[in-house]
Amino acid sequence: MNDASDSRTLDELPDRVFVALGRRGMEGIPLKECTYECDSVELTLLSVSTNSPDISKKGKEEITEDWIVQCEKCGRSFTFRCKSRYFDGERMDTMVNILDDEGKDLGWLGSY
Ligand SMILES: [Zn+2]
């Protein structure tokens, strides 16, 4: 993983991610909330790392970015693992998983 923290901010992530609800369409879930009990929305970005600093302009590509954040309220950190699919340099979609402060994958949260 390469460190890509410079000049990255949480503003690059959307406020909501979406899960499909079958016939009921899509439901939006707030992304930038503490994953632990406290439900705080005050998160600080600690670092961003990616498996690929450059997106190639040709063909299919999958890029993983780990956004490590810390909750201001409870002080615990966790990770948004964003797996983006690109085609010819354009993002198709991104799946977001949450990892806790021990690196345990808490599962898929939603996509954007
Ligand atoms: Zn918290």
Q: Distance from the CA of 32 to the center of ligand 1, in angstroms?
A: 11
Angle at 82 between CA 93 and CA 27, to 5 degrees: 60
Q: Distance from the CA of 79 to the center of ligand 1, in angstroms?
A: 13
Q: Distance from the CA of 78 to the center of ligand 1, in angstroms?
A: 9
Question: Which pLDDT score, from 0 to 100, does residue 21 have?
Answer: 85
Question: Which pLDDT score, from 0 to 100, does residue 48 have?
Answer: 95
User: Average pLDDT of each block of 10 consecutive residues along the chain (112 residues)?
Assistant: 79 95 88 95 96 86 96 98 96 97 96 96
Q: Distance from the CA of 59 to the center of ligand 1, in angstroms?
A: 40
Question: Which pLDDT score, from 0 to 100, does residue 4 have?
Answer: 67
Angle at 16 between CA 61 and CA 81, to 5 degrees: 45
Question: Which pLDDT score, from 0 to 100, does residue 5 have?
Answer: 66
Smallest Cα–Cα separation from 103: which of 76, 83, 84?
76
Q: Distance from the CA of 94 to the center of ligand 1, in angstroms?
A: 24
